[in-house]
Amino acid sequence: MPDPAREYLIGNLDRVRLDYDRATDTLHISFGEPPEEVDEAILTEEDIGYRIKDGRIVSITIYNLLKRLGLEV
């Protein structure tokens, strides 16, 4: 998880986009239009990635989604 001492806002909730990549078993969640560059990228021990721009989370990436859900084939 991002630094627990910091608080982050979520980007544009009016434009949430979900993309699942079956080949890599990865779920990408974007809030608004993804910026070309971000200020910060964080990968947690739980293999969840956060991309942050101007103090807002602009995307979340969840790796090994089916395995997490117990649906691994």
Render pLDDT for 13-57 as a digit per residue (tens, 0 to 9).
889 999 999 999 999 999 988 778 999 999 999 999 999 999 999
Evaluate whether residue 37 is within a structural domain.
Answer: yes
Residue 23 structural domain: 9-65
Number of domains in the chain: 1
Evaluate whether residue 3 is within a structural domain.
Answer: no
Write down the pLDDT at residue 15.
Answer: 92
Task: Indicate the Cα dihedral angle 15, 16, 17, 20, nearest 10°.
Answer: 180
Evaluate whether residue 1 is within a structural domain.
Answer: no
Evaluate whether residue 4 is within a structural domain.
Answer: no
* Non-local CB neighbours of 46 within 8 Å, separated by 6+ positions: 1
- 73 CB burial (10 A radius; 0-12, 13-18, 19+): exposed
Q: In this model, does residue 1 exceed pLDDT 70?
A: no
